[in-house]
Amino acid sequence: MLAYARASEEEYHVVCAELMIRNEYLSLNKLDWGVAISGLDMFTKTLACGVEGCGKLFASRGAIRKHYAGAHGVKGAQIPTQYNITTAQCMDNNHHRMLFHVVPPPD
């Protein structure tokens, strides 16, 4: 049986620095409204929450409707049916995507 020892967090950070790799994602707040990042999928019809101060992004009507009900207490016929459309990218490909606004590249 192969034995191994778990590295300490400090050792992990040293290895990441030596390999010149990041060990965490950038904050999405720092990415919002920046230039599109080459290599990431572009979402050109992302739906943006219209509640002032929110602006969270969603890839589907079902997801944004659920957001309005859960985060803002808006239910039934009071949920908007028209949404702001924006361009976005995401840092992950999980079911719960972490979308952020981007300035689309010129055509």
Sheet containing 57-58, strands listed edge to edge, beginning at the edge strand earlier in sequence: 34-35, 99-103, 84-90, 42-48, 57-58
Residue 1 has pLDDT above 70, yes or no: no
Domain interval for residue 70: 26-103
Distance from C-alpha of 10 to C-alpha of 16, rounded to nearest angstrom: 10
| Number of separate domains in the chain | 1
For residue 50, give the 3-state DSSP assignment: coil
Is 3 among the domain residues?
A: no
Residue 46 has pLDDT above 90, yes or no: yes
Is 2 among the domain residues?
A: no
**What pLDDT, on the 0 to 100 scale, is given for residue 23?**
61
Is 16 among the domain residues?
A: no
pLDDT > 70 fraction of the chain, expressed in percent and rounded: 81
CA distances in angstroms from 22 to 19, 30, 89, 96, listed in the order given: 9, 16, 19, 22
pTM above 0.75, yes or no: no
Is 77 among the domain residues?
A: yes
Mean pLDDT (whole number) for 60-77: 91
